[in-house]
A = this chain, B = another copy of it.
Amino acid sequence: MTALRSASSIDTIACVGAGTIGGGWAAYFLARGYRVKVWDPAEDAAEKLGRLIDAAWPALAELDMVEGADKSAFTVHRDLAEAVADAGFVQESAPENLQLKRELFAELDELTAPDVVIGSSTSGYPMTEMAVNLVHPERFVVGHPFNPPYLIPLVEVVGGELTDPAAVRWAAEFYELIGKSVILMEREVPGFIANRLQEALWREALHMIDQGEATVEQIDRSITDGPGLRWPMHGPMLTFHLAGGEGGMAHMLDHFGPSLKSPWTRLLAPELTGQLRDAVVAGCDLAAGERSFADLVAERDAGIVAIRKLAGGQR
C-alpha cells in the first residue's frame, strides 16, 4: 500500500455521521486540539452537534483536553467531498446498516487520498463484510468506541481480510496518541470483544424480562448495586481471581468449575478443559503481576468506596 501519512502530522479529522457516536467523537477530537469537519445529511445536524459538544466540554476539560483546544473549531457539511477534503483521518459513524456502510465506504474510498486511514465506529460488522468493491480497501480499519466516545477510553481496533496490517497498526497508534485505551484484535470476531460480553449480558436480561423472571428495575439495580461496582477496577477475570480467595483463579476454577454446568444463564459454557483452565489461570497471574492478593483487595475496596461516595451519591 501507499506509505501512510504520519499520525502526528495530522491537524484535521473528518467525522462522517454526527449522531450520538459521531458527535461524541467530534467532541473528543476537538478536545484533543484537532480541527473537525463533520458530514451529516440531517437538517438539524449542526444544532444537535453544538448541543452535544457543549454538554461534553466540561467533562472533557476535567480529563483529556489538551491546551489550546477550541470547541468551535468544527464545520458541518452536507457535501461529503467537502467534509473529507484535507482531512488526515476519517472516523465513520453512520447508522448501523451494512448496505449503507458499503455505499458510504465506496464514496469515501473515491473521495480520499489512498494514504488516509478510515476508521469505522461499527458496533459489530467485520470490516471484511463492509469493505467490498473498494479500490483501496487496505486502509479501512474498525475503530470501535463506546458511548460516550468523549469519556470512555476503550477503542477496539481490527482490520478485515483486505486491510493492510500496517494500517491496523497505524490506527492503533493514532488512537493511543490521542489518549485512548486500544485493544488490537488479531482476528475478526462479530461484535469484537466488549460488545460480545455486553451483548451476552443484555440478551440474558431480555430473556429474564420476557419470561417474567426480573423487571427492568431489578436488572439495572442488580448491576449498579452489585457487580457493576467492581468492574471499573477489575474486569470479570480478575474479579473471579479475587473471588477465589488467596488461591486465586486456580482455586476458583477447581472449586466452582462445576457451577459452569449449572443453569445459571441460558448461555452454555465451554468444556473446562485443562488447557482452558491453565490459560485462564496464567492470564490472571500475568494480570495480577506483582500485586498480592491483599494489594488487589485493597485496590478493589478503595475503588468501591470512592465510587459509592461519588458526588451526587447515586449509590
Interface membership of A113, Cβ < 8 A: no
Closest Cβ of chain B to A197, distance in Å, is 5
Task: Return chain B residues, CB-CB under 8 Å to A107.
Answer: none
What's the minimum C-beta distance from A209 to chain B, rounded to whole angstroms?
6
Q: How far is the CB of A103 from chain B (nearest CB, A)?
A: 18
Question: Taking the complex as formed, is A116 at the interface, i.e. its CB lies under 8 A from any CB of chain B?
Answer: no
- Does A195 have its Cβ within 8 Å of any Cβ on chain B? yes
Give the docked Cα–Cα distance between A269 and B98 (Å).
20
Q: Which of B190, B213, B280, B287 contacts A209 (CB 8 A)?
A: B280
Please report the C-alpha to C-alpha distance between residue A305 and residue B16 in the assembled complex, in whole angstroms. Answer: 27
In terms of DSSP, what is the predominant structure of the interface of chain A? Answer: helix
A298 to chain B, nearest CB (A): 7
Query: Are B181 and A197 interface neighbours, CB within 8 A?
Result: no
Q: A152 contacts which of B202, B260, B304 (Cβ < 8 Å)?
A: B304
Q: Is the CB–CB distance between A306 and B298 below 8 Å?
A: no
Asked if A225 and B152 make an inter-chain contact with CB atoms under 8 angstroms apart, the answer reads yes
At the interface with chain B, which of A32-40, A85-93, A233-241?
A233-241
CB pair A193 B220 closer than 8 Å? no
Within the assembled complex, what's the spacing in Å between the Cα atoms of A290 and B179? 35
Cβ distance A265 to chain B, nearest Cβ, rounded Å: 4
Pair B276/A226 contact, Cβ less than 8 Å: no
State how many angstroms separate the Cβ of A283 from the closest Cβ of chain B: 2
Contacts of A266 in B (CB 8 A): 200, 267-268
A214 within 8 A of B: yes
5 pairs, A vs B, C-beta closer than 8 Å: A20-B243, A59-B302, A156-B222, A200-B200, A306-B307
